[in-house]
Amino acid sequence: MIRLLLSLLIISLTTYVFSQDSLLKISTQNDVLVRTYQIMKQLPDSIYQMKIVSGKKMEIISLNSQQLDLSTNNYRQLFKRTPGLYVSEHDASGLQASISTRGLSANRSWEFNMRQNGYDIAADPSGYPESYYTPTLDAVSKVEVHRGSSALQYGTQFGGMINYQFKDKLTDQPFSLENSQTIGSYGLFNSFTALGGNVKNWSYYGFVHHRNAEGFRQNSQYSTANYFGKVTYQLKKGKISAEYSNSGYVSQQAGGIFDTLLHANPDTSFRARNWFQVKWNTLSLQGEYAFSPLSKIHFYTAFTFSDRNSVGFTKALTIMDTFNTSIGSYNPRQVDIDHYLTQSSEARYLKQYKLGQQLQTWTIGARFCNSEIHRLQQGIGSTFSNLDLTVLPDNSGNLFQKDLVLGTQNIALFSEHLFKVGKRLSVTPGFRSEYLINQLSGRSNNFVNGILEIQEKKRFILLGGLSSNFQLYTKEKLKWSLYANATQNYRPVMYSELLPSSTTEVVDQAMNDVTGFTSEIGTKGFFISRKGPITFDVNAFYLRYNGKIGAYNVNNAPFKTNIGDVVSKGIEAYVEWSFFNPFFKNDAASELLSVYVSGTIQDATYVSWNNPQIAQDPTLSIQGKKVEYAPSQLLRVGVNYEYKGFSFNYQYSYTGSVFTDAANTVLANATATVGQLSAYDIHDASVSYKFNKNYQVKFGANNLFNEIYATRRSGGYPGPGLLPSQGRSIYGTMIIKL
């Protein structure tokens, strides 16, 4: 009943919303007392940092250590004000973000263009966009979330773009320091130290970060270390900066469990010898220059050289990893190694000019990306239990059954023009053209004669889009607009989809790329009353996803191809009401009470099914069935209270049930790789206190009522079966800023 009322609330509260400043200053009638409040979410609706966002679904999340658990990269809390964002919480370490929106796949966020400080952080943004690296939130100042309507500016992806923007400098002083130390449940220890400052035209920022824990489950320990450094030189009309980030982690993979153990013993693990290792390095050079107040250019070039390694026993859950008496040891494990080398560059030019009485805006940009992946898979590993990547040759003398070189070259040109028609209406047409080359060669037991000569696929893609914005009110204390957009989207077939995952799987050589479009219509704005601001953003969306890639059985073997078309539609809503000094009206100190509701009602369904076998048996069709991992309801409700140095934060999260296969299987199979996952409720709470301006202590509890739930099933890594999510955990943090 409570969830129903809250769902009705997010639909009915469709009046008022928001400013574009990160700080909101409120004065009394006599202009004697000024109070400053940090705004946690911004909704730009025109130009944002040389990017046209008019008529698009875009938001900026400002990070606040008082409201978020930064120590474990808690994405459920980070995106709590972002309606429609589904978080797969099978990994409690926060090492990888697995998020999605509007019925798309959450697998390592591969439907998003993931960026850090404006540049790509995926292994291969076009051919293999899985994000094995996610920045530590301790260093992030804000997160920019662009939905699918922004595909023309950032790539062809359906999900949109997410950018983690680091802090530039800590203060304007020559030297400043920030340090936080966190301890928590399951052996958690998180340490973060940052240095920054400003000296004449130079500014710098850098940090060292370490986190480790034993983990909620058996065999789930992890350790991560991150290093970052950035130097910026301020020009008279611009700036130039260079930065380097180094991240590495080792994670023990506990693997899956049977459904019967989820509520009885969720911390059980049947895999003690599975390990995952990532080494991620990125070097970037960025610059911007203003030829005039109305003419600017921005560019970046980035180099990524990284490794992803895994070793483990990945047989089905029904096959135990036990001591093999016939060989006098455990069975050999499988070793997989990826080497990534990516260079990407992007330049963007923005020009504003007067046409009549209105200021018009035009932006154009170009992008080049060259990626190479050296993939070594199915090596015969050691019989030991530790992280050991030693590989033994097989009977043919090969160290790996698969030794592949995967290459991608991508050249893109994009342009958008914001036309202002009168004082209220703006229309933004745009296009994106891409030239994409994929190359594949190497050796594999899945190929005829074991060798694949260089295979090359070229395509030219042209996408278009149109967005519009109408200002209903543009007063100082009331801004309210309507927006609508429609944009074509495109996703190339990924290398992981082109290659057989087993010796029996057959890949359709005529498999096509995914095509479709995203459209939205909504209203957003803010209203500032004497009691405080009301902020809102409510929209309806419609997403078409043609040629979804999957597999069905042909002659008792999996056949991977375009299995059908998907339509996802629904309503996303966000409303927040903040109250200035509700209890201490005449107090000189700032007091703030805010209440927010963020929710989604969606329907993601297969509308066609391309299996020719259903001509003889239509009951096998998945047409009309729900898309995997696409909950019909997402709801987050929160309360935040701040007074003087004290802060209290509470968040409630509800996620509806999901199916894990296209056939919508309800009961789990014998290996726990398919079967419906139940809905779940999560409560988080924290309190913090700042004193002497430079110190802060914080205590919190995640999953306060110890909800036992699961958000994913796996057929391979990190181990087949049902993957339980973390139970209740508590933590304490001490922060020092000097």
Reduce the secondary structure of 242-257 to three states and give it as a string: EEEEEEEEEEECCCCE
Confidence (pLDDT) at 18:
32
Q: 151 in helix, strand or coil?
A: helix
The structural domains of the chain, ordered by start, are: 2-737 (2.40.170.20)
Name the residue with higher pLDDT: 432 or 22: 432
Helix (H) or strand (E) holding 4, with range, is helix 2-12
pLDDT score recorded for residue 26: 55
Helix, strand, or coil (residue 71): coil
Taking only the tens place, the pLDDT of each residue in 506-535 is 888 788 999 999 999 999 998 988 888 899
pLDDT per residue as tens digits for the range 594-630:
999 999 999 999 999 888 777 677 777 888 999 999 9
Q: Write down how long the chain is.
A: 738
Give the helix ranges, DSSP H, for 422-520. Answer: 495-498
Give 56-95 pLDDT, tens digit per residue.
Answer: 999 999 988 778 899 999 999 999 999 999 999 888 888 9
**Mean of the pLDDT values across residues 432-449?**
87
Lowest mean pLDDT: which of 286-295, 338-347, 709-718? 709-718
| Cα torsion angle, 490, 494, 498, 501, sign | negative
pLDDT-derived band at 177 (thresholds 50, 70, 90) equals very high
Does the pLDDT value for residue 366 go beyond 50?
yes
pLDDT at 472 over 80: yes
Can you give the pLDDT at residue 28?
43
Q: Specify the pLDDT at position 364.
A: 97
Query: Rounded mean pLDDT of the chain?
Result: 89
Q: Which pLDDT tens digit goes with each residue over 643-657?
A: 988 999 999 999 999
422: tokens are 């009168």
The SS3 call for residue 3 is helix
The residues, ordered by sequence, that sit 6+ positions from 573 with a Cβ below 8 Å of its Cβ are 10, 11, 13, 14, 83, 536, 537, 538, 539, 597, 598, 599, 600
At 187, list the tokens.
């052996």
pLDDT at position 92, please? 80
Q: Is the pTM of this model over 0.85?
A: yes
Distance between CA atoms of 75 and 726, rounded to whole angstroms?
Answer: 13
Q: Phi and psi of 569, rounded to 5°?
A: -145, 155
Percentage of residues of the chain with pLDDT beyond 90: 70
Give the containing element (helix H, strand E) for 401.
Answer: strand 400-421
Question: What pairing do the DSSP bridges indicate for beta strands 334-355 and 633-643?
Answer: unpaired
Residue 150: pLDDT band with limits 50, 70, 90: confident
Give percent of the chain above pLDDT 70: 94
Query: Average pLDDT, stretch 364-387?
Result: 95
More confident residue, 341 or 691: 341
Distance separating alpha carbons of residues 463 and 433, to the nearest angstrom: 6
**Residue 21: pLDDT above 60?**
no
Residue 708 clears pLDDT 50, i.e. is over it:
yes
Q: What is the pLDDT of residue 4?
A: 39
Lowest mean pLDDT among 161-165, 293-297, 542-546, 613-617: 613-617
| Residue 365 scores a pLDDT above 50 | yes
Task: Using alpha carbons, select from 283, 287, 285, 335 the residue that is nearest to residue 305.
Answer: 283
pLDDT at 680 over 70: yes
Name the residue type at position 727.
Answer: G
Least confident of 98-112, 211-225, 242-256, 494-508: 494-508
Which runs of E-coded beta strand occur in 2-101?
A: 23-27, 34-38, 41-42, 47-48, 51-52, 58-62, 85-87, 99-101
